């Protein structure tokens, strides 16, 4: 008799005893035999588990539960199958999060970009050229004052030179970049200009897959991983003519600035880390090592490094940009967005990457139309009082004065009072599912004990004990919170300030833009928009940057 048959017979024996009401009278030896099979659930286990679930059952009810759980086609059998199904990190769930409350219509209209094309001449130094915003680089490429190959060599050189200080590069892609630059050179010389990203070198957070390159997720177990697919965001940028020069560091499993290759540093103050799991894109873009970069955000990982490193970074509305080919952290909260030098740069990059791809079933078909010259005074803007407290409070007060000088009427605004703890664990439950294979293999410990010293395993392990019912209940409460947010913002286009813990769960867009300095490091002003309110966010951010020069400053490396 094989082991599988023995296990089955043990289960059947235990079920029969329980059905006869004899489960509690099992001899200790019999209990030991039953417990040897990991698929067997005992009454004692139920008594412990019901404390986590917050319920209380009688002994008769517990016996019935044990019978059902251990039945040949019961819950445990289903669980055992799932654990060997090879779902990995990329298989999407059948349940899809939609941030739009019931009865609320999606925006409609054409997709367009209206902006003023700048008049720009090539700077006298490569250093100045490296720090130009995409809008200016694009004009230099379009007018053939600089070639894509020249820009590519400039950024490859700077990546090589400054990475030992910043630890922001996982993989340089020189061969790929030079081939893409050569193609862009030829196309532009032949008059086939694709648009403002054509020939612009960029960096990609190293949780997006690109064929032929390592995609390490910042974690030791995956440091040699190569995924045979191209992430949609990479494909769309390539279609726009952009050039990939580097895969940039992500904190291990998208947590913090620490990865297996070191701690990514803030180029303004290398004693500081670059903050958030999009630390590599934040550091590299701020240091003028790429023209722009792409990050991802589940709990602030675009916004926090943008603020710390003095960038303009935007976390879009959930469902705006495909996550296909990206490492999954939380299916109902992960977002992808641009990290750039200016709001107008963000508009150009976002325009290229947003929209459905037929691969990520959470993406909604909502057009993006942005007019840089629209009347900013027509925006309905609120402000959170809490945004003006703390170390950056004075800079934010000055920013508010600039915004009011634009003719914008700003009114006090309060967010709904929400029990964040009742929905925050949703992401951890999803995270535990996304990395179930890593946990079961025992290799999760490598992320904790390896050079990255990540706290992510300490988040994943407790999430194994989140009851399924509570996960559903949390999502039901999440709908109530979404409706409260929608009602609170019904008279506004956006508000000054942010609550990332809240808006990451409701799917609202946020942009961070430089607002000054505090003790030598940049400070960031956050603006939070209504759902699909990227045009309004970018309009106010662009207008603010037309009156200030914080975004034009760069670190002296």
Give catalytic residue positions. 205, 277, 301
What's the rounded Cα separation, in Å, for the pair 403 and 33?
Answer: 72
Q: What's the token pair of residue 145?
A: 């004052």
The three state secondary structure string of 262-308 is EECEECCEEEEECCCCCHHHHHHHHCCCCCEEEEEECCCCCHHHHHH
DSSP strands (E only) in 410-469: 410-412
Determine how many CB atoms are found less than 10 A away from the CB of residue 81.
9
Helix axes 148-166 and 279-286, enclosed angle (nearest 10): 120
Continuous segment of H or E residues that includes residue 369: strand 369-371
Continuous segment of H or E residues that includes residue 313: strand 312-315
Rg of the chain in Å (alpha carbons): 26
What do you get for the CA distance between the two ends of the chain, in Å? 70
What's the rounded Cα separation, in Å, for the pair 369 and 347?
Answer: 10
**CA-wise closest residue to 335 among 193, 106, 531, 85:** 531
Q: Bridge-partner residues for 226, per DSSP?
A: 214
**CA-wise closest residue to 130 among 242, 320, 284, 276:** 284
Q: What's the token pair of residue 23?
A: 């489960």
SS3 256: coil
Place of tokens 């799917």: 507
Q: What's the token pair of residue 400?
A: 């508010």
DSSP per-residue string spanning 26-48: --HHHHHHHHHSTT---HHHHHH
What's the rounded Cα separation, in Å, for the pair 337 and 496?
Answer: 20
Let me know the angle formed at the C-alpha of 510 by 505 and 515, rounded to the nearest 5 degrees. 140
The DSSP bridge pattern shows strands 269-273 and 410-412 to be unpaired
């Amino acid at each position: 008799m094989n082991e599988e048959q023995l296990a089955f017979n043990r289960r059947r024996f235990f079920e029969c005893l329980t059905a006869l009401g004899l489960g509690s009278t099992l001899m200790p030896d019999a209990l030991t035999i039953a417990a040897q099979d990991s698929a067997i659930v005992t009454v004692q286990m139920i008594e412990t588990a019901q404390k986590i679930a917050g319920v209380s059952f009688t002994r008769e009810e517990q016996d019935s539960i044990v019978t059902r759980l251990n039945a040949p086609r019961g819950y445990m059998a289903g669980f055992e199958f799932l654990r060997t199904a090879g779902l990995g990190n990329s298989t999407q769930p059948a349940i899809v999060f939609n941030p739009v409350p019931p009865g609320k219509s999606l925006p409609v209209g054409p997709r367009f970009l209206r902006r003023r094309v700048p008049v720009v001449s090539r700077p006298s130094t490569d250093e100045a050229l490296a720090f130009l915003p995409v809008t200016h680089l694009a004009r230099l490429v379009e007018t053939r004052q600089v070639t894509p190959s020249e820009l590519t060599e400039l950024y490859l050189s700077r990546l090589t030179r400054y990475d030992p200080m910043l630890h922001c590069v996982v993989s340089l892609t020189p061969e790929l970049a030079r081939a893409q630059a050569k193609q862009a050179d030829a196309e532009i010389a032949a008059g086939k200009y694709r648009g403002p990203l054509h020939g612009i070198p960029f960096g990609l957070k190293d949780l997006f897959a690109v064929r032929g390159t390592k995609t390490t997720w910042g974690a030791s177990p995956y440091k040699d991983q190569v995924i045979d697919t191209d992430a949609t965001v990479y494909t769309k940028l390539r279609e726009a003519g952009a050039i990939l020069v580097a895969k940039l560091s992500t904190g291990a499993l998208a947590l913090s600035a620490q990865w297996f290759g070191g701690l990514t540093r803030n180029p303004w103050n290398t004693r500081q880390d670059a903050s958030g799991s999009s630390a590599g894109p934040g550091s590299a873009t701020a240091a003028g090592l790429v023209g722009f970069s792409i990050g991802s955000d589940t709990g602030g990982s675009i916004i926090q490094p943008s603020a710390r490193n003095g960038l303009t970074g935007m976390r879009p509305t959930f469902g705006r940009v495909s996550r296909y080919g990206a490492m999954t952290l939380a299916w109902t909260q992960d977002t992808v967005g641009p990290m750039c030098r200016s709001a107008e740069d963000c508009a150009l990059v976002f325009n290229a990457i947003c929209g459905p791809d037929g691969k990520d079933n959470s993406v909604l078909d909502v057009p993006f139309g942005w007019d840089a010259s629209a009347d900013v005074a027509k925006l309905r803007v609120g402000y959170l009082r809490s945004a003006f407290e703390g170390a950056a409070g004075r800079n934010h007060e000055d920013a508010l004065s600039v915004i009011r000088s634009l003719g914008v009427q700003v009114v006090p605004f309060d967010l709904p009072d929400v029990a964040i703890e009742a929905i925050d664990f949703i992401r951890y439950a999803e995270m535990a599912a996304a990395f179930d294979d890593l946990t079961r293999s025992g290799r999760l410990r490598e992320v904790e004990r390896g050079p990255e010293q990540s706290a992510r395993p300490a988040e994943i392990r407790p999430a194994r004990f989140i009851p399924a019912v509570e996960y559903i209940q949390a999502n039901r409460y999440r709908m109530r919170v979404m409706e409260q947010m929608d009602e609170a913002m019904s008279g506004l286009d956006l508000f000054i300030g942010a609550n990332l813990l809240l808006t990451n769960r409701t799917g609202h867009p946020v942009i961070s833009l430089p607002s000054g300095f505090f003790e030598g490091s940049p400070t960031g002003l956050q603006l939070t928009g209504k759902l699909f309110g990227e045009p309004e966010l970018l309009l106010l951010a662009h207008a603010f940057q037309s009156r200030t020069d914080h975004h034009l400053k760069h670190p002296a490396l």
